[in-house]
């Protein structure tokens, strides 16, 4: 986003796994005042907020089939309608999506819409889990540790040879987030 022509416009991220279908629709497309019980004011959705910029849909593999259908419609028509609204609102948004799920398998199991899969997979980057990339562990660990040492107002910590070896042989079930969180703990808690 920062190196493209949309860098002057917003980058908006949404965690699709954290929202139910109803909440996701309101979050993505917004809602009008009175659209439902708690809708006490008009809410601008993420598509409108990201207009001209980029919308990042994290954990898209966890989106319900109903949510997928609504998303596909917006991607095809480039128009949203707020929940409870009647006005079509044009949007110009670059959509990036990420998931840890195997979408090909989900499509075959009819858990992810094939048409949405093909609409999203214009350009794909398949990033293997950290456990399959042991050579990436130390550079990432050093990067995160430098950030967190700075945040903790500490001088940069160094890894012992044993610590470096243990980092590389760990299985990293939590992937890069687990490594990042470990480096945060190290920066703030180690003596």
**Does pLDDT of 64 surpass 80?**
yes
What pLDDT score does 22 carry?
78
Q: What is the β-pairing status of strands 54-58 and 94-98?
A: parallel
Average pLDDT over residues 94-99: 95
**Band of residue 100 on the pLDDT scale cut at 50, 70, 90:** confident
Sheet hosting strand 54-58, strand order edge to edge: 11-15, 54-58, 94-98
Give the separation between CA 49 and CA 14, rounded to whole angstroms: 12
Picking from 18, 15, 46, the residue whose alpha carbon sits closest to that of residue 30 is 46
Give the per-residue pLDDT at 191.
80
Characterize the bridge pairing of strands 79-80 and 54-58.
Answer: unpaired
- What are the residues whose beta carbons fall under 8 Å from the beta carbon of 122, sequence distance 6 or more? none
CA angle 141, 143, 147 (to 5 degrees): 115
Give 150's pLDDT tier (boundaries 50, 70, 90). very high
Strand partners, 11: 54
Q: What is the mean pLDDT of residues 2-6?
A: 92
Torsion of CA 34, 24, 88, 95, to 10 degrees: 160
What's the confidence (pLDDT) of residue 183? 97
DSSP structure class, residue 94: E
pTM above 0.85, yes or no: no
Q: Is the pLDDT of residue 25 over 90?
A: no
Specify the pLDDT at position 39. Answer: 77
pLDDT above 90: residue 167: yes
Q: For residue 150, give the nearest of 187, 109, 103, 112 by alpha carbon.
A: 187
Residue written as token pair 């005042």: 33
Report the range of poorest mean pLDDT among 28-37, 110-119, 178-187. 28-37
pLDDT band at 177 (very low <50, low <70, confident <90, very high): very high
pLDDT more than 90, % of the chain: 76
């Amino acid at each position: 986003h920062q190196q493209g022509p949309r860098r002057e416009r917003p980058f908006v991220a949404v965690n699709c796994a954290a929202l139910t279908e109803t909440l996701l629709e309101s979050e993505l497309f917004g809602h009008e005042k009175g659209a439902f019980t708690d809708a006490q004011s008009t809410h601008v959705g993420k598509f409108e907020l990201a207009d001209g910029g980029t919308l990042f849909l994290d954990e898209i593999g966890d989106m319900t089939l109903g949510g997928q259908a609504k998303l596909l419609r917006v991607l095809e028509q480039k128009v949203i309608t707020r929940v409870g609204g009647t006005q079509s609102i044009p949007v110009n948004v670059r959509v990036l999506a990420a998931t840890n799920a195997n979408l090909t398998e989900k499509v075959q199991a009819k858990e992810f819409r094939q048409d949405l899969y093909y609409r999203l997979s214009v350009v794909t980057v398949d990033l293997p889990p950290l456990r399959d990339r042991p050579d990436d562990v130390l550079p990432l660990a050093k990067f995160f540790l430098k950030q967190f040492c700075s945040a903790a107002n500490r001088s940069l910590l160094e890894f012992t040879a044993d610590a470096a070896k243990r980092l590389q042989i760990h299985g990293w079930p939590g992937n890069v987030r687990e490594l990042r969180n470990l480096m945060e703990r190290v920066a703030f808690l180690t003596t």
